[in-house]
Structure 1
Amino acid sequence: MQFLLLSRAASTRRISELPCRLSGTKNHHFAKLRFHDSQRMKKTSISVLLLFSSALSAQNLLKTYDLAMQNDPVLSQSLANKMAVGETKDQSIARLLPTINAGYSGSQNWQYQKSKFQTEFGQTPSNKFWDNQFSINLVQPVFHWDMWVQLSQSEKQIAQADASYLAEQQNLILRTTSAYFDVLAAQDDLTFSMSQMKTIARQLEQAQQRFEVGLIAITDVYEAQAGYDQSRSDVIAAENNVANAKEALRVIIGPYSSELNILGEARRYLYQNQSRII
């Protein structure tokens, strides 16, 4: 019997190969292949999970629209106008209802009588009494055409305010979507401009090297330098466009900290790596 001593620092791979060594060379190679396949599947699965977790942590279009519903000043103004107009109907109905006024007043009086002749007990007679008054007035307008006209107008104004609010909700969808994709488009333009600047920078470096060895004239270096300066200007303009697009979106949805979700990123990764995932 052969004893094998394994230390605590032995790797998982060696432990998994130990039974195969006892059973033979064929099983040993099969176990090694299976081990490498499982490791590759684990790495691929982890990459997919990390990609999806980053996509979920980013702010998607639905979350952006929810923030717009809460923070858009134009929609908030339309909602406030709708609520204010909605109060006019109750005010118009109140003018048609009866008016009741109630009042009360009370007083306490003392009356003293003096005469030349005193009573048999030697006291001056006096009287004490209360004076109470109650009043209730009920006023019911019989017919006021102007009040009925105001009620009809308030109902039409409420319907108009409701329609305006619904239209503003539809408009918010368009404004939010447009601002969202404007940010993504501006970010793509910035990425392209930065990539183009790096390419032109390499071309400028190559032109300087070729000029130093006498292969090209100095005018070619100046031309490459001009192209590089133009690319830097394009990057600055693209950065300004990104800032303006984000500010336009912030006006609609309010402050936001997370990055916008890049559409199609997860789908593009799965399409390119589907042979390794399946």
Structure 2
Amino acid sequence: MTRRHAPRRRSVLPTALALALVPLALAAPAGAQTLQEALAQTYVNNPTLATARAQLRVVDENVPQALAGWRPTVTLSGSAGYGEGTLRSRSTNVRGERVGVTTDQDRTIATAAATITQPLYRGGRTVASTRRAENQVLAQRARLLATEQQVLQDAVAAYVNVIRFQEEVRLNLNNAQVLQRQLDATNERFRVGEITRTDVAQAESRLAGARASRAGSEGELQNARASFQRTIGLAPARLTAPQPLTSAVRNGQDAAQVAALNNPAVVAALFDESAARDFVDVQLAALLPQASLQAQAFRNDNQQIIGQRTIGEQVVATVTVPLYQGGAEYAAVRQARQDATRLRQVVDDQRRIASAQAIQAWETLGSARATVDSVRAQIRAAEIALDGVQREAVVGSRTTLDVLNAEQELLNARVSLVRALANVVTASHSLAQAVGRLTARDLNLPVALYDQEAYYRAVRDRWAGLRDYTAPQPVQQ
């Protein structure tokens, strides 16, 4: 898989992001949990990622199984039993007459043998099976990277969502407090006869709506916290404002080209196709000659008559040339070829999917950044408008409803900014995922990277052994 420089993080937050999240930043002490620390925790302890690593170790075992085709088999066999029988024969007596003789043949039967069989040629099956197993391992490594990227992206989304909903709760709580003061002032003006009951009802309605919005945002925050704990493995504590990734590509076309080469789904499809072509050779081996060498040492006691013992050694070379086996082997070859053709099309499909996802991620990131700029301008205008409406309401040229509408518009704009800034962060990581750069190595996470080859090296050439050869992995507490 092609690699490039790790995406760099911006040294400072964009101004709007810092302003939008300043209450959280001020509340966070020096020991607050950063996004990078959360991703490191996810990388070490996420069960979905641990499952994918275990699956890779399962596929690693295909290689020693294929290499076993080169190795001899050694067997010991033995048998013991009891036999009864009667031996009839004819002999000449002392008078020269031919007479029949019957002899009982009750005996203990025993055999023992040690056999070594060494394959010499299996029609190319061992070579093809080994190549296929190696390609399966490489494909599974790519799938592990894909799982790693998806898990880290889920962790980013969970982290950002907690901060987003915390800020929405703060905005809605502040809005409810403002509207409560607005209602109190409206009631006071109503008592002195400056406004009507309609104005009071409008203020009460907006306050009730603000409280409903606050309750909804609090529920969303609890859901985000649950998702955070499920993905990252810890309950969110004091989170710091995350930073968007600096893009690793210059434009959408560049993103599509990199994704077509580097996306783990594309890489896995390429190795799947190679493994399928190797499987054609595996099936062809059934049509080719087979040769093996067998050495045996044996001992047979009392096989035919009492007191008979046969001891010996033998070496036998065997060559088998298949002529016709019912036709199933031909169907298996045709089937394997069609499967290779299918997987060749899967490669093209995965390239198109990866390119499309990369372009979509690029455009989504650009759209999110443009939205941030637009909402900033909207907030500035809404703040000016609210101040003007409040001043005009004091002199009676504006109604209570006008003030409420201006406050609601400003609140909506501020909430939109929080959501847009959260979208910028998640979209920047989505773009990195689309081009295959959202891995622990690319993000420079402070963790010991999982060694994809450790188990493979431990078992590849192992002739025997039942213990677990998994290398211990450090666990972050």
Counterparts of 2:234 and 2:199 in 1: how far apart (Å)?
48
Structure that is richer in helix per residue = 1
Counterparts of 2:242 and 2:140 in 1: how far apart (Å)?
36
Q: CA deviation at 1:71?
A: 2.9
- TM-score, with normalisation over the residues of structure 2? 0.37
Equivalent residue letter for 1:222? A
Q: How does 1:122-137 map to 2 (within 5 A)?
A: 134-137=112-115
Unaligned ranges ≥5, structure 1: 1-50, 108-130, 265-278
Q: Is contact 1:186–1:242 with CA below 8 Å preserved after alignment?
A: yes
Counterparts of 2:51 and 2:114 in 1: how far apart (Å)?
44
Q: Is contact 1:82–1:162 with CA below 8 Å preserved after alignment?
A: yes
Equivalent residue letter for 1:67? Q
Aligned to 1:112: none
Q: Does 1:69 align with 2:75?
A: no
Unaligned ranges ≥5, structure 2: 1-24, 82-108, 244-477
Q: How does 1:99-178 map to 2 (within 5 A)?
A: 99-103=73-77, 134-144=112-122, 145-178=124-157
**One of 68, 90, 97 as aligned partner of 1:94:** 68
3-state SS of paired residue (1:163) = helix
3-state SS of paired residue (2:116) = strand
3-state SS of paired residue (2:179) = helix
Q: Percent identity?
A: 24
**One of 240, 243, 247 as aligned partner of 1:261:** 240
Aligned to 1:56: 30
Aligned to 2:473: none
Counterparts of 2:80 and 2:207 in 1: how far apart (Å)?
97
Label 1:183 to 1:72 Cα distance change in 2 as closer, same or farther (>3 A).
Answer: same
Q: Is contact 1:71–1:252 with CA below 8 Å preserved after alignment?
A: no
Aligned to 2:315: none
Equivalent residue letter for 2:48? V
Q: CA deviation at 1:146?
A: 3.3
Q: Is contact 1:92–1:150 with CA below 8 Å preserved after alignment?
A: yes
Q: Does 1:180 align with 2:159?
A: yes
**One of 188, 194, 213 as aligned partner of 1:215:** 194
Q: Is contact 1:65–1:176 with CA below 8 Å preserved after alignment?
A: yes
Label 1:102 to 1:52 Cα distance change in 2 as closer, same or farther (>3 A).
Answer: farther
Q: Is contact 2:172–2:214 with CA below 8 Å preserved after alignment?
A: yes
Q: CA deviation at 1:162?
A: 0.8
Question: Which protein is bigger by CA-based radius of gyration?
Answer: 1
Aligned to 2:168: 189
Q: CA deviation at 1:236?
A: 1.0
Equivalent residue letter for 2:54? A
Label 1:257 to 1:187 Cα distance change in 2 as closer, same or farther (>3 A).
Answer: closer
Q: CA RMSD, aligned part only?
A: 2.8
Moved more, 178-187 or 66-75: 66-75
Q: CA deviation at 1:154?
A: 1.0
Moved more, 75-84 or 131-140: 131-140
Counterparts of 1:216 and 1:196 in 2: how far apart (Å)?
23
> Deviation digits for residues 207-230 of structure 1, max 9, x if unmatched?
111112221100000000000011
Counterparts of 1:97 and 1:69 in 2: how far apart (Å)?
39
Counterparts of 2:190 and 2:27 in 1: how far apart (Å)?
50
